[in-house]
A and B are shown apart, each in its own frame.
Chain A
Amino acid sequence: MLLTITTTHTPASDLSYLLHKHPAKAQQVELSGGIAHVFYTEVTEEKCTAALLLDIDPVGLVRKNSGPSGNDFALEQYVNDRPYVASSFMSAAIAKAFSTAMNGRCKDKPELVTVPMPFDITIAVLPVRGGEKVLQELFSPLGYTIDAERHALDPAFPSWGESRYFTVRLRNTITLQQLLSHLYILIPVCDNDKHYWVGQAEVEKLLEKGKDWLPAHPANEFITYRYLKNQKGLANQALEILMKDETIEPEETIEPVEPKIRVHDLRLQTVKDELLKTDAKRIADLGCGEGKLLRYLLPEKQFEYILGMDVSYRSIEIVKDKLKIDRMPPKQQERIQLIQGALTYRDKRLEGFDAAVLVEVIEHLDPPRLSALEKVVFQYAKPKTVIITTPNAEYNVKFANFEEGQMRHADHRFEWTRSEFATWGNKVAEENAYTVIYKPLGEEDPETGALSQMAIFTSNTGINAER
């Protein structure tokens, strides 16, 4: 909401020339979300402070919302921090209110443009995803001295902890144009959000405003990703241009991409291999998610018919899209079917399969609902083979930052040790006339076992439900 720029350059009033804003006046600039006011709180030869105050219309924000939805801080909410913080709205205000300075022009004193001046900046409230560490990594390499005060969510409720809001003071001796280009890009990077759709134009803005300093910035990849709202395509395109003159090893990013993907691939490969060992021709992937396992199964000739089911309709749509089902030849289309369904309801569509797989599914069900899943899978669908995988809770101690009782995923309702899984699996097998064996999924640690565990159930009757 408020940005103040102070300089002790002599004469300090030069700032008003550079900003192209009269020191005795209060001026207004119209923005899409409200009005930006520019005024001076102090104008002497020794010190000059200009304030950029954003008056965002909180009702207009919601009523005229044309920006993206579904953010953490969606613009659909009337109770919204946007009117009070420095965000992409502030960048827009800087670009509009101080456009001449940003473009490196100064009508009356053009010689000032290239003069580095001592600046002292205050951003009243800056939301920072990632805390002070991010602030340091963003501004230090550019030579700033940083003072940041983090605010509590509510002093009346200390247990709620800290907010992501900081009052930030930055000091540096640089040209005003540099300063503004830094702020223009880095404010929304701190916030990690944008009030408008991010598209191709955003890449150009980044390249233009950051051309002099971003390529050499050690966190350039991080800045690029965040600035482009983590849209990989756009970010890669921007990075390619930024790095065209340099061949740098990729820096370690602040938000590391976990090697988890590999682990999951391994899991799926193992499940596929197990399926191939059986003579199963009709396979049901129950809880198929976005279809990773389906991709593994589709190329295998042995699998004549594959059903993917998930409770999330959106996931099903994504699978259809990813696998390009619409464009498959009719014979292939007949081989795969995708349905929305839930494992807590009996479903006749699941009958008549040779094998069913539930990869990392059961832990998303409240324990009292498991008995429904058991009935649905083992009593009604009753395929000859059932493969179930689930995390091995014992392995959790090997994770960095692991806290006792913590689970791997926010939606996990439980995570079982190997013996808990076996207790459940044995009971299910006995009650439903199946035989069960257990296998580790992933590299096995002598103490904790593997990352995940797998149970393979085989029906004792040796016939599938189709009969």
Chain B
Amino acid sequence: MKDKEHVIGKSVKRVDAFEKVTGRAKYTDDICDKSSYTAKILHSTVAHGIVKSIDTKEAERIPGVVKVVTCFDVPKHYFPTAGHPWSTDPEHQDVKDRLLLTDHIRFYGDDVAAVVAENEVAAAQAVRAIKVEYEELSFVLDVQKAMEEDAPLIHEEYPRNILKHTSINSGNYEEARKEEGLIKVEGWYDTPTVQHCHIENFICYSYMEQGRIVVVSSTQIPHICRRIVGQALGIPWGEVRVIKPYIGGGFGNKQDILYEPLCAYLSTVVGGRLVKLDISREETFVSNRVRHAIRTHIISYVRPDGSFAARKMECFSDQGAYASHGHSIAAKGMGAFPQLYPCPNIEADAYTVFTNKSVAGAMRGYGIPQAMFAVESHTDDIALALGIPPYEFRWKYLMPKGYTDGFSKNVNYFDSFHQCLEKGKEHIDYDRKVQEYANQTGEIRKGIGVAAFWYNTGVWPISLETSSCRMVLNQDGSVQVQVAETEIGQGADTAYAQMTAETLGIPFQKVHVVSTQDTDITPFGTGAYASRQTYMAGFAIHQTANLLKSHILDTAQELTRHTKQSLDLIDGNIVRLGDEEILMSLADLAEEKLYSLTNNGHLTAESTYQAKTNAYSFGCTFAEIEVDIPECRITLTNIVNLHDCGKLINPQLAMAQVHGGMSMGIGYGLLEKLLFDEKTGKPLNDNLLDYKLSTFMDHPELKGDFVENYEPTSAYGTKALGEPPVCSVAPAIRNALLQATGVAVDEIPLTPHVLFRRFKEEGLL
């Protein structure tokens, strides 16, 4: 039998690329009818307080203003916003602490009132004309200060502002650290509040149709959105229909329900008319979601050979004003700690704490970039304290092959870390450079650093993992594919088309992935997050394609009178096994079946796959820098990321994901931080000029490479790649700085301001 043509593993071009390079891809604003009303939100100008009164009279008098609603008007249905699968167990449900608009202001930028107007100028004028009287309360911005007894209480039901505290205890830390001859290494590591900065701001519009509410939204999670709009409005979930068109990036911000419920509500108060809520860039920074800033304290007791005797970790995760994704992020970060460098005696505590700042939610990496900055910076600190080269330390003590995590049941099946480290070392000529850059003096110095990470694939066993798929055969032998795992720029639709073509046995061009999700039509599934797309949707696609293939072969049996078992579907043809004779094309089969007067049928398949597995994804970053000491400036001159994400479905698109994640990691390590005024709690740099997203000028060439170990638990041998590339970049840069200058900087971003302070402290300036 001749070798089957494989489309998995080929760098086929994106299925949506043509639309996107011609400007034909329609995003939410592009399809919103011009007749829509425009809504705008009035955000609070205090960080903590109670709204005493609101005067809307002047705003209502502005020509073009249709409706003004305030926090006193909205229904009191508290709802959660996190884009998590729902749980029928109340213990596992997300915290319901949001209202459409609120009179208890918990951060500067909280939502107080909203205006619906005929045009954006009138809406903006009306928002400026609303007068709000606040009773100001004291506020707290620092995560550890928020835990003090006398700190202002942000949510009454959470004493000391602690949303949640969880621990990991294994072995006996207190006993183990008494061992003689141990060396204690201790550090505090700080990561910043950063924002996703997808170029399309959040936008949605809403209208009523046949008594139901329709929301078209730039969201990663349409089915979750349906549920939460229902919860927020207090209506049955089936009365909500959510449609997701092309979206201009999400990175986790749109894995949260942002303003869909408010927009839906505003439509209902203007008679179900079309209302558009187009969020500004400033609002995206302040009033959407941000990445949790986490402060981490690590103590390691190590033996002179580097082996760990006992370790302790505490992390303080800055939740901002509302629970959103909450403790999941800190818990995930903490969970990485005992696994990356296994140690028999561990004590770890994670606290997620409310502060009067912008709300933290999901963002690419979900706690792991924070954890890796702390853990991998600390690893270099240990290596330095022991005089062991940092590369060798990692080689010896990183999670070994065969390691199994008791909770997720993840197994390190292969020698991925060693493979990645070795490959990266060659790419960047590590051994030569690490020697060359040792013991430098002078104003300009170079350095090289390395850091590793691991990442999970999806959310099992913490939450439900399920994906459903529908495939429909057309007259010409082509197939529509629908899943609820959304295309948000990462290339998921293309991967789905490749999987479908591969398993079904039809040409890639014959697969049409329906890119728009519509909760009335798209099979149930939870959306784009947790780097789950190819892994989770892969199961459902694989299963459904086999189901459809089975139906097709049943029809082939009818039409060819050959037994099903002797037939196969290869490259769009019904083929007889053995002599490989093409008996008929799939197109002929489909046409015959759909128009048959005797045995008519519509060939379709639909199925759900509930995944009860997870998979470790691994990798590392090597970074090379040049430090200009007088200018307190780091220039990243060379960087390479290595990944084992299993089998690559589409190598070119996989590499593109790596580039994007590295870019975000570079910004995290060197440039980005959302700042808040200490005196008022007001965000200071809520725009793309003052918030330093990296530009074309801020990157060296981005290099990546892969180790392809076929993931045994996966339908297509693949596992997480969407988020992993961001995880180890910042600590690799930090460790390069340590090598170049001997200065350990334990906070990111490594801006000139931070370097100025640290270089002065260390006598370099």
Q: Indicate whether A and B interact.
A: no
Interface residues of B (CB under 8 A from A): none
Interface residues of A (CB under 8 A from B): none
